Structure 1
Amino acid sequence: MTDTLPIQSKILITGAAGFIGFHLAKFMLERGHFVIGLDNLNSYYDPRLKEDRLDMLRAYDNFVFYRADLKEKPAVDEVFAACKPEYAVNLAAQAGVRYSLENPYAYVDSNLVGFVNVLEACRSYLVKHLLFASSSSVYGGNKTVPFSTEHNTDHPVSLYAATKKANELMAHTYAHLYGIPSTGVRLFTVYGPWGRPDMAYFSFTRDILAGVPIKVFNHGSMSRDFTYIDDVLKALYRLIGLVPKPNPDWDEKASPISESFAPYKIYNLGNNSPVKLSRFIAVLENCLGKKAQKIYLDMQPGDVIMTYADVTDLEKPSVSSQRRQ
């Protein structure tokens, strides 16, 4: 793997006790970088899982952790002032499409207020590059697949998706106004060990083993672009050091909309190979040696039929070879 980061870089990872944040922090620590972890350890799912992840990270001498909530600006500023990170990776967010229907304010606090606090801190403390997690959800009602970063994303179907789209717009604004190089990564259904217990591969497995019926939405006619965590880590690692440059000749009629006259770039990070829900369940049944009891239901509000990533930009040689100048 080509290393795009200077040796022993100082990197802030928000959401460090979360699924992707934990894995990325561990990945960076093992490569000798200094990692500042920040997380509020909220109770969206069992905080003990987050504590167990943190216990593994605390075993590294080059890791420091701050328990703080992104919506509290003084707390965020304190972390930046104390540690002066060179790079920031914002993975903290209120997750879950369906939960946004029940508790919309959690998404406003974390995904909007929290993100602007991160942007302001990056502005004040001269961070070299902000890498932030967006989501495949921004494609909303789009029907053309695979989803491309050149497609319009103005029709979200959940508040979660709307906040992620807002993050992209906010980051672009700060990149333009204050020269903060920013890269957004639209993640597609990331899975793997130490994952979120509300994800289908965990919840379905638990219920199948317990003999509890599983809810199969849209009668199983859905597909997801499942992306393994190790592939996500390799891409994120390369992208942290791949600082976007402004394109002074950018033209909205001719240039890629994933790029800009500002130091800003958007990527899809997916597997480029969607799997039908019915196939997904069949594989689980085969691995568990037990048939699932299924309750077939209509589509849920806020959900989408398919996610399918066009990863052309991510496959370009520059992603794995370009160094920050």
Structure 2
Amino acid sequence: MTDRLVADDAEQPEGLIRAAELLRDGRLVAFGTETVYGLGADATNPLAVARIFEAKERPRFNPLISHFPDSESAFKQVVATPLARKLAEKFWPGPLTLVLPRHPDGEICDLAAAGLPTAAVRVPAQDTALALLRALGRPVAAPSANRSGAVSPSDADHVMDGLAGRIDAVLDTGPCAVGVESTILDLSGDTPRLLRPGGVTVEDIETVIGPVERHHDAREANAPIAPGMLTSHYAPGLPVALDVRSVQPDEALLAFGPPLTGARVLWNLSETGHLDEAASRLFAGLRALDRQGTQAGCSRIVVQPIPDTGLGLAIRDRLGRAAAPRPDADACQDAPSTQEHHVA
């Protein structure tokens, strides 16, 4: 059952306190921002983030916006450029998301960033949302609070229509003031790039930082780009083979459920075969096997079969990219890199 919490006034903040408690416990809470309602989870907890994808029935792990109560908190998680600080001073709190390199000491988990070296951050301009973020004291990953492919929700009724019974609570803050998603601006490269138009116009942005590169590929209209997604972007150094039924002594095994025997190095995504646990451990597992397998002289990473249902689709999507043929070095330098942001 999904609880409907009331965003009470400052003298009776029971709903907000309960929402923060649920988020702290790794649960899912939808809450209103000035743009649309977001489906929130603790961005430092990979299992909680995995539950977002499960509730939304997302077929892929896309990077999510992490929300903060102020720019100082956001810039502890990413490497803030001078342009980022100028934009934050002008437009935060507000409907602007900045994509920046992740800070080496940042707490945003790999799953929230989809394994990318960048993270998307913003400070929403909604009083209750800001109060919730302050009460929690952690980054909150929050894509739009609807099932994959559905219309983004602009009030609590919309959230309940799509996600009742799939999430723990919705914090009802009334209708959203803007009603369209935030603008996404990529500041991780040499030139600022507009990844998605939204609540802050590109013209207003350019009055602060100068020219912004627009992306005109019609195929990307519903899939804004960000650095890092060549087909094989998620590939570790060792080759990857999927759906193996046996293991050789020189192989590193990414297991799911009871592990196959004979691997030199082993990482189990979920010994009990739970897909949410597997999703939360995927990126860490690939990194660990690549590092340990290389040190142990393994020839490749092999992956046990994973169901193609529920979160299994998203897991297999990422593993398929990891196993894809590697482009040559010259092609890597010239090829465009894309990654969808499914965010609020």
TM range (shorter): under 0.3
Greater Rg over alpha carbons, structure: 2
Q: Under a length normalisation based on structure 1, what TM-score does the superposition of the two structures give? A: 0.25
